[in-house]
Amino acid sequence: MENNKKSGAFKKFLYSQKTAPYVFVIPFILSFCIFWIYPLISTIIMSFQDIEPTATTFVGLDNYTKLLKDTAFHQAIRNSALYMFLTLVLLIPFPMLFAVLMDSRLVKAKGVWKAVLYIPALTSVVISGTLFRLMFSEYDTGFANQVLEFFNQSPIKWLKMYPTSYFALLVLCCWRWTGVNMLYFLSGLKSIDKSLYESADIDGATPWQKFWLVTFPLLKPTTVYVLTISVYAGLAMFLESFMLWAGNSSPNNIGLTIVGYLYKRGIEKNQLGYASAVGLVLLIIALAINMVQLLLNGTFKKEER
């Protein structure tokens, strides 16, 4: 009888309206604490240490002092910042325009085109990176050099020169993520009331005016979201560069990224304390850029009533 009372009390507690929200939130809180808060705290502590297989020594700000003088780290920051900027320039306006075209009556077989553009995102980065490395090979058999030969141009060493290597990296990036960002913008277009376009037609608006005065402003929430994740993705890029240069050593570090440098220090050279400092700097840079752009976009402003 006592056990039945306890069971009934437990069910009453579990199914009460006050308790139920916390029950559903607990899995997220646990996963957030285990896989984000705990690693973050551990990384902060490790960044002030010199970690060796046999001993761990507290070194204070030495790791951060070394970062200020580390030319390879500075090169990695410049590379990641340039990559992030170029991806923002390419992977926001063009997917937006493709989404507008896909949502219009000009395109037939829309489902087929959506699948075709999304398939690259499902391809393994290891496979796609290897294929692009072969495409941009410095040998005459490389696809890019064959195209140059068709136009009577001499073969070039694509992945050993700064401009051409970034061209190859951006081609790989756009090939993989254009379809994904296009789907984000398509979902944003579906939320726009079609009566606004009908009103614009009645007022005699041109297609460009409808895009600029109706579509673009109402796509702002989607654009801010894509911009936010693109900033993080650009700064956190690693595997594409790693596979394109078949490792973490590119000529004159032209393909070295911040995460690549973190991997080199932490995994290849077993300097976990120094790598933790690199990771924290990356986190601060990504947060700072996203906070600035969110403030400029008015994300944190209170809506007027």
Place of tokens 């601060």: 284
* 131 exposure class (CB count in 10 Å sphere: 0-12, 13-18, 19+): middle
Task: Please determine, for residue 103, whether its predicted confidence score (pLDDT) is greater than 90.
Answer: no
The arithmetic mean of pLDDT across residues 88-112, rounded, is 88
Quote the pLDDT of residue 170.
Answer: 92
Render pLDDT for 23-52 as a digit per residue (tens, 0 to 9).
778 888 999 899 989 999 999 999 998 888
Round to whole Å and give the CA distance between 28 and 162: 43
Round to whole Å and give the CA distance between 282 and 3: 55
> Are 264 and 245 a contacting pair, CB within 8 Å?
no
Helix (H) / strand (E) containing 56:
strand 56-58
Q: How far is CA 41 from CA 62, 232, 280, in A?
A: 19, 20, 11
The amino acid at residue 237 is M
Residue 51's SS3 state is: strand
Quote the pLDDT of residue 114.
Answer: 84
Task: Please determine, for residue 299, whether its predicted confidence score (pLDDT) is greater than 80.
Answer: no
Render pLDDT for 176-203 as a digit per residue (tens, 0 to 9).
999 999 999 999 998 888 888 888 888 8
Pick the CATH number of 65-296 from 3.40.50.300, 1.10.357.10, 1.10.3720.10, 3.40.50.2020: 1.10.3720.10
Our CA angle for 75, 275, 125, nearest 5°, is 70
Task: Please determine, for residue 237, whether its predicted confidence score (pLDDT) is greater than 70.
Answer: yes
> Are 7 and 1 a contacting pair, CB within 8 Å?
no
Mean pLDDT over each residue of the chain, to the nearest integer: 87
Quote the pLDDT of residue 207.
Answer: 84
Angle of the 62-69 helix axis to the 272-296 helix axis, nearest 10? 70
Render pLDDT for 146-166 as a digit per residue (tens, 0 to 9).
998 888 888 888 988 888 998
Q: How far is CA 18 from CA 5, 15, 30, 84, in A?
A: 20, 8, 19, 45
Please count the helices (runs of H) and the strands (runs of E) in the chain.
17, 2
Quote the pLDDT of residue 113.
Answer: 85
Could you tell me the residue ranges of all domains in the chain? 2-46, 65-296
Confidence of residue 11 (pLDDT cuts 50, 70, 90): low
In sequence order, the 6+-apart residues with CB closer than 8 A to the CB of 246 are 133
The arithmetic mean of pLDDT across residues 106-114, rounded, is 82
Tokens of 125: 């980065």
In this structure, the dihedral spanned by the alpha carbons of residues 162, 259, 280 and 253, taken in order and rounded to 10 degrees, is -30
Task: Please determine, for residue 285, whether its predicted confidence score (pLDDT) is greater than 80.
Answer: yes
The amino acid at residue 79 is N
Computed on alpha carbons and rounded to an integer, the radius of gyration of the chain in Å comes to 25
The arithmetic mean of pLDDT across residues 113-119, rounded, is 86
Quote the pLDDT of residue 186.
Answer: 92
Nearest to 223 by CA among 273, 268, 189, 274: 189
Quote the pLDDT of residue 110.
Answer: 80
Confidence of residue 269 (pLDDT cuts 50, 70, 90): confident
Quote the pLDDT of residue 222.
Answer: 92
Quote the pLDDT of residue 303.
Answer: 55
The predicted model scores a pTM of 0.86
Output DSSP code: residue 49.
Answer: E
Nearest to 273 by CA among 65, 62, 50, 64: 50
Confidence of residue 60 (pLDDT cuts 50, 70, 90): confident
The arithmetic mean of pLDDT across residues 102-112, rounded, is 82
Round to whole Å and give the CA distance between 80 and 283: 13
Tokens of 21: 């929200």
Task: Please determine, for residue 305, whether its predicted confidence score (pLDDT) is greater than 60.
Answer: no
Task: Please determine, for residue 14, whether its predicted confidence score (pLDDT) is greater than 70.
Answer: no
Task: Please determine, for residue 302, whether its predicted confidence score (pLDDT) is greater than 70.
Answer: no
Task: Please determine, for residue 5, whether its predicted confidence score (pLDDT) is greater than 60.
Answer: no
> Are 136 and 250 a contacting pair, CB within 8 Å?
no
Quote the pLDDT of residue 300.
Answer: 72
